[in-house]
Amino acid sequence: MARTTSGARPGRHRRRPRPETLQLLSHNLKVFRAQHEYSQERLADEAGLHRTYVGDLERCEQNPTLSTLEVLADAFGIQIADLLVPASKSPRARRG
């Protein structure tokens, strides 16, 4: 069966991550931003993203691509996986 340019099969809806996954990413972005004392605008600048997009991610309103996760992780000096595991299990997330 043919696929669209997005990789989805025709007639199918784009998949979204589970709400828990988006909530975990949102929480971890806030934790790492606080640790680095970054505003949303500063994180956006560091990652080469738009300021409102960072806010959308933190409100679980966007489904980020792998490349977006990569630039966010790079901005914090962490691995992509650190954005997607509970902060309590990430060696890079310090508890305050």
Please report, rounded to a whole number, the percentage of residues in the chain having pLDDT higher than 70. Answer: 77
pLDDT category of residue 88 using cuts at 50, 70 and 90: confident
14, 68 in Cβ contact below 8 A?
Answer: no
pLDDT category of residue 16 using cuts at 50, 70 and 90: confident
Tens of pLDDT, residue by residue over 49-81, are: 999 999 999 999 999 999 999 999 999 999 999
**CB count, 10 Å around CB of 2?**
5
CATH class of 33-85: mainly alpha
Q: Tokens 């990652």 identify what position? A: 47
Domain ranges across the chain: 33-85
